Structure 1
Amino acid sequence: MSEYDVAVSFAEEQRSAVEEVVEAFKQRGLTVLHGPEQTHEWWAHKEGGDLPDARVRFFVPFVSAVDDFTTAALRAVKAGDEHVLPVLLGDVTVPPDLLHPHVAYVRGTVHRPDQLAEALTARIESAEAVGWQRAPVAEVVTRAKGIAQVAEDPEPIVPATFSRYTEQDATLRYLGEQFAAALPRLERQGFVGTAHVGETRIAVRVERAGDTVYALDIQRGGIGGDETVNFVVGKQDGSALTNGWARPVYNTGAGAAVLEVHDFSVLGGGGAPRAYRREELFTALWRRIDAVLTSTVG
């Protein structure tokens, strides 16, 4: 499967201008999945098996007018899909119901391809720095179209009383309580576990003979927005990277709040986002700690 930095989509009237932007991307060393036929309409009418067999860092639709396909892309971004990166052209306006306070769209003009290329390069470098992996473009586009289809159904709805920040507070409080209760049990295995629980950060440390063998910081806010819970594995030295993050979301099917976990390594692997209840997330984190300590002893 081929790998690219970006895959682009464009309206028919943007064809020639977008080709100049793509050339500017390539001059900056970006790899681009681009073909003259890959308009918004082309992507919209292709099914999963008919889409390119390629992995991309970002799917980039150029948005000069909000139509059905670009609405799907914007809705996917609001839902937290980190692989969709719409580029807003000219004075196009994003509908209020598709805005998210923590999403900063790339905005520019096809008449300044150098500026757009510079902005995209910066986004890609940031994504690489936090460990975002490429994803199959067929899955990214199909998922975005699926989100739009679900959104067309007015029921079920997210309750007006649902609050991401309330859920964030509850998650930090719960994880702090559980780690504080569980860590002393590690003494049976010859380890000393401590948890420093503050208002914005939980510092979990496991030592053996004075040496730190596992460190986990759970922090309020960070990548994904200030309503998220971020995880950093390893003692921080001022340059630590996020190893995973969780956004509180409301699962309308289950009728309950859950945590949508974007896992880079905190749980031992990557892949698509997964939904956990608070209790399930603690269990997964504890199992990961146990696995690391078991390998340390072995």
Structure 2
Amino acid sequence: MAIYDIAVSFAGEQRQFVAAVVAAAKVRGLSVFFDEDKGNEWWGTNFIRQQRTVYGSQTRFFVPFISREYLSKAIPMDELSAAMMTAVRQGDGYILPVLMDDVEVPPELLHPQIHYLRSGDFSPEGLAEQLVQRVGVATSAGQEPRDVGEVVQEAMSYRMPRVIPPDFSKYELLDAAFEYLRYQFDQALPQLESSGFVGWTRVSGEMLKVRIERQGKTAYAIDIDKNGFNSDDQLNFIIGGNSTGSVNSSNGYATPYFDRDAGIPKLKMMDFSVFGSMGGSGQTYTKEELFNKLWNSIVDRLERG
């Protein structure tokens, strides 16, 4: 597999300038993929379909020379230019764009954090020096060459809509969260004995009762009701226990939902005083995070006596 310091992409109208930059870069010791060396036509055209030689090559930087012609090359039919502009938009540090003359790249195509050079600021030799410096920094930092084809394929992976999976069920998540909390309490409570506390859990119908005692006195009590507070798709939390059996009592409740941004199921917690705070504004947790938050609040209360 061939490994290059830089690989260049350009529209035919900029061939003369790019050739001068490539020649100056080679004089300065850089290995460069340049289509004339391979006997190919401008290698951006139909890049993915024709599987050109560079497709199986690696390079430390991919350098697209972006001109008006480059931007107008039938995007997105031209796979390479489309892929490179996608990578530029995404801020891929592997891409080092050179803006030709006074071309203005639309803001939606140029990531604000991407570093770029402008050809008008350098002679071909000066631009080659800049590339040498960038390659030197990357090499010293241990930046590995990347496969050109992989980068193109990544860039061409089109954004898909974030949707709730068709098999997601809030009631299944509710059951799973309830059983998870029960299991974790069963595992954690016996460990309190080393600190002088005795803990136990009971399940009564749809309610999980958690009690912690010290010398025969209740140090902490919470009921977790799967019937909810004002809806049957919630976990309702009642600090101190629900001795009256009233469904109108609540110190907070958690509602299952699917977090489309994170791509995982979570619970949205409306906390009145479960975690020792007042007026919770709807923090979100996985079932694991919810137990950890709840357990830490219990330990805090036990420490305060």
TM-score range for the pair, normalised by the shorter chain length: 0.3 to 0.5
Larger CA Rg, structure 1 vs 2:
2
- Give the TM-score normalised by structure 2: 0.45
- Give the TM-score normalised by structure 1: 0.46
